[in-house]
Amino acid sequence: MRKRGRYYESLACKFLEERDYKIVERNFKCSRYEIDIVALDGDTLVFVEVKGAKNTEFGHPALKVDGVKLRRIRECASEYLSKAKHPFRGCRIDVIAIVGERIEHIKGVPLF
């Protein structure tokens, strides 16, 4: 399962880099959770959660990013921000959902 997750994260990184995002970190681990990708979109720091599936038989992968998952991302993002060493103006959470080879980028899930 982790191998597939790394595959989806690699697709997401390539997708973001093709859109001029700068990947700052992958798999940032805070005290209790993890953020898949930390990237810069211009001067905006973006915390990216990647979800993937072969198909939508069990629902769209973006639906797996529920309130509990967002709370965990926010907690981890807060820890990351307390240690951030690069300049940024704002920050946000994005979700990248991958179904097969189709990539959907959902921008701006509320951070706090």
Q: Domain range holding 35?
A: 2-109
Residues 8-57: pLDDT tens digits? 999 999 999 999 999 999 999 988 899 999 999 999 999 999 999 888 88
For 112, the token pair is 């706090």
92: closest CA among 29, 27, 31, 21? 21
HSE at residue 23, side-chain half, CA atoms within 13 A, is: 17
Residues 60-80: pLDDT tens digits? 888 888 888 999 999 999 999
Q: Is the pLDDT of residue 92 over 70?
A: yes
Total domains in the chain come to 1
Q: What CATH code is carried by the domain that includes residue 85?
A: 3.40.1350.10
